[in-house]
Amino acid sequence: MRVALVTGASRGIGRAIALRLAADGFRVAVNYVRDETAADELISDIAKEGGEAASFRADIADLDANRALFANVAARFGRLDVLVNNAGVAELGPFSAIDSEAYDRLFAITRGTYFAMQNAIPLLEDAGRIVNISTGLTRGWAPMAAAYAGSKAAIEQFTRALSKEVGQRGITVNAVLPGVTRTDILSGASDEQLEKARQQTSFGRLGEPGDIADVVAFLASESARWITGQLIVANGGSTA
């Protein structure tokens, strides 16, 4: 049975991705950093639906922990077919207000994503899949998002370059760029901001984690074998 590792899987988009891949028949390695309770609940939910999952606590920004994560997944499941790099932090604010600590937190995840892919390559089965979660904020000139969007833009370039290096093994590497999606990140947004985001989409609603999970599930499937090095915008037609 195929195995998928989802980083930052305990909540939000990562949780939805883990649930969807489990429903598609994957055994799921659930990576988390702090919220053990949420990770355990996710594993329980997967088991209730007849799936199999195990949790792995690791901060991918810590390169030793990052390397150990892949060793532990290999020891537990014996293989790896799909890596979904979903782990991230939200650091938004005026250009002049992002201090060096916030900047470093953002780019530590970028570095961790790079080395997660590096650590995954020897383990991935031929015709494996790597899916990186970026952000729709890289598509424009969004105020308050310079450092955040910049950290994600680097991941998009990793995606394109790596796709050229692993293609001979049939491995695809793609990125998904969500628009405004209903997760904990929106907890600080005002009603006015949320309504504006809704009206900028073609459907008059915010994205849901499941909307993104469905795109990831397609890219993880055999049907996506001819798609690689692509940046897939999943924002409901938002004009933002």
Which position among 32, 103, 114, 148 bears the catalytic label?
148
Tell me the angle at which helices 36-48 and 12-23 cross, rounded to the nearest 10 degrees: 20
Active site residue 148: yes
Alpha helix segments (H runs only) across the chain? 12-23, 36-48, 63-77, 100-120, 146-166, 191-199, 209-219
| 223: its two tokens | 């049907």
Q: CB–CB of 195/169 below 8 Å?
A: no
- Tracing tokens 């150990």 back to the chain, one arrives at 68
Residues 6+ apart with CB under 8 A from 176: 131, 132, 133, 134, 212, 215, 216, 219, 232, 234
Q: CB–CB of 182/206 below 8 Å?
A: yes
Name beta bridge partners: 207.
181
Residues belonging to the active site: 148
